Amino acid sequence: MGNLRDYQRKRDFSKTREPADNAPGKASGRAIFVVQLHHASRRHFDFRLQVGDTLKSWAVPKGPSYDPEVKRLAVEVEDHPISYAGFEGDIEHGYGKGHVDQFDLGVWTTEGDAEAQLLKGHLRFELFGKRLKGGWHLVRSGRKERQPAWFLIKAKDAFAGDVEADDLLDAKMTRSTRAAAKTPATRAAAKKSTARRKAVPKGKKVPRLRLARAAAALDGARPATSGTEFFKPELARLREFPPEGEQWLHEVKWDGYRILAAIADGEVKLWSRNALAWNDRLPDIVQALESLGLQSARLDGELIALDPRGHSDFNGLQATLSGEAQLPLVYMLFDLPHLEGSNLSRVRLVERKQLLQQLLAHAPKHLAFSSHAIGDGEGAFRMATEQQLEGIISKRVDSAYRPGRGDDWLKIKRLESDEFAVVGYTPPKGSRNGFGSLLLARPDPSVKDGWVYAGRVGTGFSDEQLRQLGKTLADKGRRKPTVKLAAIDPLLRDAHWVEPKAVAEVYYRGIGNKNLLRQPSLKTMRTDKTAADLIDSDRAPAAKASARRKRATAADITITHPDRVVYPGDGITKQEVADYYASVMTWFLPGVVNRPTSVIRCPEGTEKACFFQKHMIRGLKHVGSAKLKEESGAQATYIYPRDADSVIELVQFGALEFHPWGATIAQPDQADRVVFDLDPGEDVAWDRVAAAARLVHKLLAQLGLASFLRTTGGKGLHVVVPLNPGCPWPQAKGFAQAFASSLAQAHPLEFIATASKARRGGLIYIDYLRNSRGATSVASYSLRARTGAPVAMPLRWNELGKLKSGHDFDIHSAPKRLARLRSDPWEGIDELRQNLDEVMDKLG
């Protein structure tokens, strides 16, 4: 991060209009660059790059040159506030006296860490402005100067040419240059520097007319006009396994943001899948599309940031879009429903993609073609799994481009895989030959040469494998288990158990209850390995590896002062808190991951000072950060959990409670949860609170809204309404307020919708204020910093009658409850599609 002390020390802000620090709203979005023409005692260009929360700055006397053979001296000066990017006009007194014009403003990117490159003395970067484009270098000079000297050099790329900064001055900057010339010599220099006029170099364009003719000749193409308005994308359905056959093609499932591009009369407009305009956020992609030289087109693809392995990095993408990083972005294109006056939506997909590939053959590196393979879906999925990609998208080769969700596009997400010993089998049923399923086990670390049951695998076998394995296993085994069982499973009543010898490698979708594999399917039989190899292997079996990820010692996180008592009245230690969150992690994470989250930190325990923490602090390595606008209009860096390591790291920093937004960092202005907090007065009996929750549930159902139930770990209950797609926060708050007010008016002896505690006696306060941007609600499975270490627990509605209070579950009983559950009480909450538009119409 930068330091503004030198900047502020050199200026008298009572005499200069220059900003003293970062004004609200000036440190948001992509990392920017700015170049200013400064008519100080010596005319020069100020070149500034946003790195962190300041502008790293260099004075370039002759300005940038597009000629890669020219090295322009760049003298490093003090860091400036980001708000300085918008400064223009006269500096009338003191340091830097003279006139300032803005020469260029845009975003910039670099591969790798910008500060580390600057420290080494060579920064490679790209600029996306109106005047400065393409790749550049800043190289530290070896000369000893009073101030650090660098060279600004243009990279050899499609934008290189013989253009100088003075060639690109507009009329306003030209007048400033001539007005600042005070002597005959400076006037002559000013006249010379503003005499030439050249355009910004442009990249190589594609052969547009040839592609237009090719598009029009395709079977199914229709003449049509196309504007820059939003068009609805085609969406995929989720499937467990890839389809087979030559009628399917398979692409990588990129981990990024869906972006639609519409081009008309050469103008490019970018849209998110929710019809939000994205041009301002992606000038690099706009610039790349403009370089294609197209008059009209519609393109569909995924915006990604690439990690060093060439994989899409979603965290890196979010960090770049929020200004925390400067990674190069790539628009990975996979469809072309319109090109140069031809509607191609009825053209076969494989032909649209062939044309798209030709279009991108000479495109800038920020545009890429999403390649595919035809047939062998299982092989494509195996490749994606082995490379640890998110999964694949399977599409019908001859399908049209149809808006909305259908069966022509299928998404199959990656499975994990690991090796297990075969310890038995179940008999075949129906027409199945050989056996029903193989019984699997993993090494038991608590017992030497011991094994613990891991689950059954019955899918993924070929007919030949069924026959051969069935022949091998026939009439073998015994009825008594040869391994430790976590629980009695009635499906194993007829099982035959054998000694662990053979090894099976299986795919699976995580670890479920009782540490059993979820949805396993056979990858292969490892004839090159024996069960003994698994015991001696340095590769942790699946459940063991999963458990390690959940434990407090994950990654490089160490729980310091593990014996510190944080719940003094209950004797609960910091280590026990970490162990609790590790034990419930698979249940807890979905409610907080990628959501701005406030935590309640109690570093010295609950009986001493506790405080909310919502902004980034020094020392956090695994916790995500995103710059978001606050109510004041200022920008602040918020924290959010990215994974289990993020949670454990926050626990290490003293966090006990987690309170997420009802929105994600990807769409902070879109509410995807509405929470009604039923907070009873001191003298309200519990049965009234339960009845109130049932009434809210019933009234929401009458409006067509499904709702979910959660204890708060305190006195009350939460009724949670998921929204998919989400809606703007003012709409969510308006609905919640209208619903709460109507309820209070209809039942004045039960409810109150105002926050006044003085008027709350004998009533249940229905709190709707948690439904505004920046407001939070306690997360499901979060501890509370209260006596007894209670837990906020999601429930099924039919469990409400069994409750005795809103704090029935605690740090000890919550994990036991989860171990008994066969499914998530809130199962399906993220897939449920409902919104407030129709409801608000009903409410008027």
Residues acting as catalytic residues? 253
Pairing between β-strand 43-51 and β-strand 54-60 as defined by DSSP bridges: antiparallel
In single-letter form, the type of residue at position 309 comes to R
The secondary structure of 298-330 as a DSSP string is EEEEEEEEB-TTS-B-HHHHHHHHTTS--PPEE
668 upstream amide cis, omega within 30 of 0? no
In single-letter form, the type of residue at position 406 comes to G
The secondary structure of 179-241 as a DSSP string is HT--SHHHHHHHHHHTT---PPP-PPPP-HHHHHHHHHTSTT-EE----SS--PPEEEEE-SS
SS3 647: helix
Contacts of 410 (CB under 8 A, 6+ apart): 236, 237, 238, 239, 242, 243, 393, 394, 395
Tell me if 124 sits within 8 A of 152, measured CB to CB. no
Contacts of 465 (CB under 8 A, 6+ apart): 522, 525
Tell me if 720 sits within 8 A of 674, measured CB to CB. yes
The secondary structure of 389-438 as a DSSP string is -SEEEEEETT----SEEEEEEEEEEPPEEEEEEEEEEE---TT--S-SEE
Q: For residue 198, count other CB atoms closer than 10 A to its CB.
A: 13
Integer angstrom CA distances of residue 205 from 212, 246, 450: 14, 35, 66
Beta strand spans in 530-620 (E): 565-567, 572-573, 597-601, 611-613
Contacts of 762 (CB under 8 A, 6+ apart): 681, 683, 684
The C-alpha atoms of residue 51 and residue 31 are separated, in whole angstroms, by: 7
Tell me if 769 sits within 8 A of 654, measured CB to CB. no
Structure-block tokens of residue 378:
């299982």
Strand order of the β-sheet with 372-374 is 234-238, 404-413, 391-396, 248-252, 372-374
SS3 159: coil
Q: For residue 508, count other CB atoms closer than 10 A to its CB.
A: 24
Structure-block tokens of residue 513:
């209850």
Query: ∠ CA 424-429-435 to the nearest 5 degrees?
Result: 30
